[in-house]
Amino acid sequence: MLGLAGIVTFIVTVACCEYAETIGRRLHVIDRPDGARKVHGAPTPLAGGVALAGPLAVLVLLQFSITPERAPFLTALLVAGLGCLVLGYVDDRWTLRPAIRLAVAGMLFAGVAFFVPALRLTELDMESQGLWKLGMLAMPMTVLCAVTFLNAVNMADGRNGVVLGMSICWLYGLGCYAPPALLPFFLFFIVCLVVVFMYNMAGRLFLGDSGSYLLAAVIGLISIRLYNLEPGLPLALAILWFLVPVLDCLRLIVMRARAGRSPFSADSDHLHHHLGRRLPWRRALPVYLALAAGPGFLGTAFPALAGEILVVVPFVYGVVLRWAMRVPRPAEEKVPVLASQR
């Protein structure tokens, strides 16, 4: 059963990637270069979300058969993932206003948290500071964290391999705290992500908002569920895994607001943009992934030092960002951007 599910998800993912251009044209989500922010070489389908949606559905059905007692969580995971996929597709196709995107995403997360109490953040384990009960703030805090993470992941999706690479690392790290019965889901979904990653790096497809929203919803809800387990994912470690993209998102919002622009306006001031100008992308991507996922791996290996690592990460992020911004490479050496910039 497990082997068959793995084969099916692999075949579905490869087929969607191979026919990404056809999918993109049928759904009218082809990202075309504009000579300004979008300077990739050729029109590219935003089909990464579709390539991940099929395997997600298959894997959730597999988990239903293995762990029927987890049906509410699995149903919420599928509903939120596919709901965010549709939201992202509408945004890819017609470009929604940020307020509408955030409002719809917030209502979706509020809905799944309302029907599945295990997906609510009801308390914060601050360890040395004790346990903070959220009470009536549980639902707003859950929605705020989920929507913030969704926006941070979407804003990070500006160069090939960034979001997919982080997602592979995140799922691997979260899998270390998952119940054994859920490990097939993590394993097979990581394999699917690796397949889409390879096609993305080859410039065959982009994730698009549909793909980044789907991944953010799935990973965000899994993180909350694992945090609520006993014993579960420590809060400090959860923050370590997601800190760098969230820091970059918050920095951009502040900088745009100070410049009198919308916090959600597009620009080329993201960390991945600066690294891409400083280094060839084949080198910049590993640097970005090491900075984004390295703290999570360190925290997992040395859980007793998670608090200390948490203090150091913002400083390291600032140093790397300053270094990347300081000396841009000559124009003739710049590597073309391969993914739609946000």
Q: How far apart, in whole angstroms, are the C-alpha atoms of residue 121 and residue 15? A: 38
At residue 267, what are phi and psi to the nearest 5 degrees?
A: -160, -175
Element spanning 45, H or E = strand 44-45
Write down how long the chain is. Answer: 342
d(CA 328, CA 18): 36
Q: Residue 132: phi, psi to the nearest 5? A: -100, 115
At 68, which helix (H) or strand (E)? none
CB proximity list for 314: less than 8 A, separation 6 or greater: 243, 247
228 is in an annotated binding site: no
Q: Is 34 annotated as a binding residue?
A: no
Q: Which two tokens stand for residue 177?
A: 């705290």
Rg (CA), the chain: 19
8 A C-beta contact, residue 217 and residue 30: no
**Separation CA 216–CA 200 (nearest Å):** 17
The DSSP 8-state label assigned to residue 182 in this structure reads G
99's tokens:
């307020």
Q: What is the DSSP letter of 120?
A: S
- Name the binding residues: 154, 209
Binding site feature residues for Mg(2+) = 154, 209
